[in-house]
Amino acid sequence: MTGLISRTLNRLSSEQQEVSELQDEAAKAGCTLIASQPERCYATIHGVVRSVTLRPTGGVQALEVQLYDGSDAVTLVWLGRRTITGIRPGRKLTAEGRIGRRGPERIIYNPRYELEA
């Protein structure tokens, strides 16, 4: 039983450290955390790509990327794109655009982006 508790505490500790590091990296990049951005504002955000999905949106192919900065996630959507070289899960990037909503999720359509080297 103590082994299970120890592993759980270690996992929680490492997750908290990862969240803290992501938030620090966003601040160093000069970006505001996603969670603190109001809707309809133009924002510059920095985080790590959690997932990349290709799906039709309104009859048009769209590349959707979930970006997480330690505070919240936003979905970046590029309409008419099937791929973007260099964008893959685990990659860090900075994106800018107007934050909106699609149902419960926060979203930015056709953001400008810069991949972290």
16/51 Cα distance (integer angstroms): 20
Within 10 angstroms of residue 46's Cβ, the number of other Cβ atoms is 26
Confidence of residue 2 (pLDDT cuts 50, 70, 90): low
Number of domains observed in the structure of the chain: 1
If one compares 66 and 30, the residue with the highest pLDDT of the two is 66
Structural domain boundaries enclosing 98: 2-115
CB-side exposure of 98: number of CA atoms within 13 Å?
3
Mean pLDDT for 74-78 is: 97
CATH code of 12's domain: 2.40.50.140
Mean pLDDT for 26-45 is: 93
113 CB-near residues (< 8 Å, 6+ apart): 76, 84, 87, 93, 94, 95, 96
Residues facing residue 94 across a β-bridge: 46, 114
